[in-house]
Structure formats: C-alpha cells, structure tokens
Amino acid sequence: MTLDPVTLAVLKGRLEQIADEMDATLYRSAFNPIIAEARDACHGLYHRETGDTLVQGTKGLPIFVGAMAFAVKAVIDKVKAQGGLSPGDTFIFNDPYAGGTHLNDFRLVRPVFRDGALFCWLASAGHWLDIGGNVPGGYNPVATESFQEGVLIPVVKLVSAGETRQDILDILAANSRLPNSNWGDLNGQLNALDLGEIRLNALLDQYGAATIDQAFVAFSARAEALMREAIAALPDGTYAFEDYLDNDGIVDARLTVALDLTIAGETMVLDFSRSSPPCAGPINISVPTTIAACYVALKHVFTDVPANAGCLKPITFVVPGTTLLGAGAPKPMAGYTETILRLIGVVFGALAKAVPDRATAGPFGTINALSMAGHRADGSRWVMFNFFGGGLGGNPESDGLNHANNPISTATMPPVEILEAAYPILFTQWALRPDSAGLGAHRGGLGAIYEIEVLDPRGADVFLLGERGRFAPFGVNGGGEGALNRFTWTDGGVTGTPPMASKVTGVKLGQGGRVRLETPGGGGFGDPAGRDPAATARDHRLGYVTGAKA
C-alpha cells in the first residue's frame, strides 16, 4: 500500500494533534508548577515491537521524547520476559538507567490494542516535584549513589487490566515529602493516556490500522531520507570538540565532555570515547540520555528533518560505559541536565568546525537547579524547585536570545506570580544581566539576575546544582565567551558563595535571607570588530553592554 501525499499530511497532523492534546491535558491538570507552568513533560506514540518514536507532540520536552523510546523498550523487554500484557494495563517507572534522565522523571507506558492485537504504545513522562532522597526536590549536589537522590521504581504495573494497584500508589506516596503533588501529577498523566487512547481509536476507526501502520513507515522513511540528505551536504571529515564541567560536586576537578564527529557521505558517527570516566557526583548520565541529547542537538541543526526514529538511522553513537556519558547503576544522575547541556554544546561546537558559516556559539549551559524548602505553620512541607534562564549563543543571522531557556527543551520558566503564590518567598529582582553576553559580530544573548527573599519566619534550606561557574560558554568564529555563572546568599549581613563554584547543599537562611543568582550569557559569533556600529550603540543605550566592555 502506498499512501498519497495529501493523506500522509492529514495523518501526520492528526497524529501530532493526539500527542499535543495529551500534553495539554497534563499541563492543565498537573499540581506542580514544573509541569503545569514549565511544561516539563511529554507524550508520544511508540512502535509496538521496537519502542521507536513514531510521533511526538510539538509542545513536549524534546529530551524526554528522545529518551522515551528507551523507556518503552524497557517495558517491551519486561513483557517479553514475564508476559501478562493485557488491554487496560499501564506501567510506571523512573529508572534512569533504563529510560534515561533522572529519578524525578516518571514514565507511564500503556499498550493500545486493536482487534485483540497490540497496535502501538502510548507514553507519558513528567517531572515530579519530590521523590524522597536526601534533598527536597531531588537535586542532591553531593549524592554519590542514586539511593541518596530518591526512590527508584523499576518497571511495574500501576494499572492491571483497568484496575489500579493500591499497593503501588501506597509505595509512591510513602516515598515523597509532597505526596499530594505527586498524586495530582500522576492522575494528570493517566488522564492524558486515557485521552490519547480515545483519540487514537477514533482515528483507527476512520482510516483502519493498516493505513495508519503504513503512515508510520512512511514518516520514518522520510525522516531517514532527509537526514541522509542533510548529512551528505556537509564536508566529509572528523571534527573534534570538547568542553568542561566545573566539577561533580564531590571532587573539585573539571570533567571533560569530548566528541569526535565523523562525516562520511550520508552517515555520521558521534564518538564520545575521550570523555571523562564516570564520576563520584550526580552529573553522570546513561546511554539513553546521551543519545536523546544528541537527538535534540541535531534537531536544532537540521530543523527540517521530522522528529521520529528514522532521523537517527544514519547516525552511529559510540558511548562507552567507561565514560560519564554511559554510566550505570548505582551512579547518581540527578544533575543530568548539566551534562546534557554540555553534550549538546559539543555537538554544536564540532559542527561549527565542519560548517563555520552555520555555526552557533555556546548557550549559557546550566539550568541552575535551585531548591528551597521548609515547613509551614501547620507542620506540612513546602518545596520550591525551579530552573532559570540565560543567554543563547550568537549565530550567523542574529544575536543570541536574551533570558531564554536552554536548548534541551521548549519548557518555559514558571512566572514570578505563580511561584510567589505557591511558596513563602519573594522575588526582589528578576532582570537582564548587563555585560554577560559574549561579544561578536553577533553577540550572545544576555543572562539574568534573580534575587529571592525568604518570607517564612521558620526560614528555609537552600540547595543548588548548577554549572558554568568556571568554564564560560564558548564563542565561535572569533566571538567572545559569555559571563560565568555566579551564586551568592546573604543572611544576617553575612554573604556566602559555594566552595564548588556552582553547587552547594545545606545553606540555611532565616526570614529575610536572600539568594542571588546571576546566570551566564551566550557566546558570541564572529569578530566583535565586525559588529554593526548601530547595534553596538543600541546595546550601550539599553544597558546591555556598559562603556567598559563596549
């Protein structure tokens, strides 16, 4: 069967709309702001035998979409080993070694049956606010094994033939400081899967399973063909690039993320063998996460290639288990976001050497995972976890974006009003950071300044897991580096800074104590001497660049 282009276009839109509706359902019903406001979640459809990505939504977190194929494959392997798959089943787990990312990210995977046979899988991923561990919010900057980061749930059935298992719910609730928040997020994910199943069955009723199956094959083939064409347009050769992480939070020594990128015809090899070994602290990542991050980086470069498993077929990944990019249990992985940002950056850097005229400078490269936590007057816990923006890299067409999110996601930062309403804190500053951008013909985007005051008379504990405190975002083609990350706190007139530059645990602030975060700007593109004088004058007039740096 060969489908005509019009039918394929219609089916592509309909299938993506299913995933988009699932995303929207969770965003509108989740209890915690990281999903409801920041959209730290995703949904998609996955192949019944391989787990490969078939369709993803346009609003979901891209890093999840890349990793979810491995998560679905983990469920498929479990079913093959133990059997017992039935309509109405739903699996749940957060194992970062099987499904990628870290313990906060819970995956729900459900089979969709058609005429008694498995047709495909639906999956949902979302960042839960607290899953136990030594640090409220899960980002423990001094963890040396996953047991210190939270509870690990292997692949288990949450719903069996339509019946929810109360024992699993009890285990989940008992291992969180905020069980009600997790309960709301879980039900939002289940409702999203319910809606996805309804919408998919309606589409199957209209077109038939054979037609939709053929569309999946066509989508994958087109993605593969376009990726091969895009790679073939690049010059053959091997291009090396490396960047550094400040430290792992335990040992104060830099860690290397190194890439040797080889282009040969219409194929590409990404070899990370020269990267540092697995580390003691929580910035290791697993192979699924590494491949997912590469998927995100390449989608930034090859924007016209459809986002499904076909786009990865011309690409070979070399990710040895002897590196921090291929770590296994029980290595800690809470800070995976910092490592994948460096990984995405080295993909940009290597491709910049292959095609300098299309290069993008380094983005600010840290989410600055900040947790503040305390007790309310009634004894209940509050946990604020948030991530923060910075500057993106300059590029051939424009300056980098000011105060943007990192290129790992389409997530948005929760608004000040939401955070202040939910927690006993006050933002006393939320502003662009002058002189934080790397200079260039096209400068980097500006970072930001955030200052947060504790309002609760019982005070708060503060934890930070960040990066770029010692190694600035890189420029390309003669562009300058962005500013370094900077974190300080003040309490009772005394100011402190993290000994590890970008990571700290156990800071206790009283009422009126403040934390201050100054995030990096992006690197610059091209020689600053080539910048349009009118653009330089505008930067100076708006205060983006001061007289000294200008």
| 333 domain residue, yes or no | no
Condensed to tens digits (0 to 9), the pLDDT of residues 414-444 reads: 899 999 999 999 999 999 999 999 999 999 9
**Is residue 397 domain-resident?**
yes
- The closest of 21, 58, 8 to 196, measured between CA atoms, is 21
pTM: 0.95
> How many Å separate Cα 310 from the centre of its chain?
21
Same domain for 217 and 364, yes or no, is no
Q: Which pLDDT value is given to residue 461?
A: 97
The number of angstroms, rounded, from the C-alpha of 45 to the middle of its chain's C-alpha atoms is 19
Residues 6+ apart with CB under 8 A from 245: 254, 255, 256, 257, 283, 338, 339, 342, 467, 471
Rounded mean pLDDT of 536-547? 93
Are the C-beta atoms of 435 and 549 separated by less than 8 Å?
Answer: yes
Residue 57's pLDDT is what? 82
Domain-embedded: residue 339 = no
SS (H, E, C) 394-437: CCCCCCCCCCECCCCCCCCCCCHHHHHHHCCEEEEEEEECCCCC
The predicted-structure confidence for 167-209, as pLDDT tens digits, reads as follows 999 999 999 999 999 999 999 999 999 999 999 999 999 999 9
pLDDT at 550 over 60: no
Q: Which domain range does residue 20 map to?
A: 5-224
| Helices 209-232 and 179-207: angle between axes, nearest 10 degrees | 100
Give the tens place of pLDDT for each residue, 13-28: 999 999 999 999 999 9
Q: For residues 368-397, give the mean pLDDT.
A: 95
Helix (H) or strand (E) holding 259: strand 255-264
In a domain, 96, yes or no: yes
Q: Is residue 214 part of a domain?
A: yes
Lowest mean pLDDT among 95-99, 117-121, 269-273, 518-522: 95-99
Confidence of residue 519 (pLDDT cuts 50, 70, 90): very high
548 pLDDT tier (thresholds 50, 70, 90): low
Segment 456-463 shows an average pLDDT of: 97
**How many whole angstroms separate alpha carbon 458 and alpha carbon 379?**
11
DSSP string over 297-320: HHHHHSTTS-SSGGGGTTEEEE--
Residue 295: strand, helix, or coil: helix
Mean pLDDT of 80-98: 95
Concatenating the DSSP letter of every residue in 110-168 gives: EEEEETTEEEEEEEEEEE-S---SSSTTS--TT-SSGGGT-----SEEEEETTEE-HHH
For the record, the structure tokens of 221 come out as: 């083939």
Share of the chain above pLDDT 70, in %: 99
Residue 335 maps to a domain: no
Considering only CA atoms, give the Rg of the chain.
23
- Identify whether 300 is part of a domain: no
Read off the tokens for 163. Answer: 């019946």
Element of type H or E holding 64: helix 62-82
**pLDDT top residue among 99 and 542:** 542
- The candidate with the shortest Cα–Cα distance to 360, out of 411, 401, 413, is 401
Q: Quick: pLDDT tens for 26-65.
A: 999 999 999 999 889 999 999 999 999 999 888 877 777 6
Of 7-21, 398-412, 434-448, least confident by mean pLDDT is: 398-412
Q: How far is CA 248 from CA 204, 277, 467, in A?
A: 49, 12, 10
Strands, sheet with 267-271, edge to edge from the N-terminal-most edge strand: 237-245, 255-264, 267-271, 315-318
**Which of residues 190, 207, 224 is at a domain's end?**
224
Residue 549 has pLDDT above 70, yes or no: no
pLDDT in tens, 144-175: 999 999 999 999 999 999 999 999 999 999 99
28 or 408, which is more confident: 28
Q: Based on the structure, what is the number of domains in the chain?
A: 2
CB 444 within 8 A of CB 523: yes
* pLDDT given at position 477: 96
Residues 6+ apart with CB under 8 A from 121: 45, 46, 47, 48, 51, 72, 75, 76, 109, 110, 111, 112
Least confident of 103-112, 127-136, 314-323, 410-419: 410-419
Tens-digit pLDDT profile for residues 201-248: 999 999 999 999 999 999 999 999 999 999 999 999 999 999 999 999
**Can you give the pLDDT at residue 67?**
87
In a domain, 329, yes or no: no
Last residue of a domain, one of 224, 245, 278: 224
How far apart (Å, rounded) are the C-alpha atoms in residues 32 and 26?
A: 11
Q: Which of 186, 201, 224 is the last residue of a domain?
A: 224
The pLDDT of 483-499, averaged and rounded, is 97
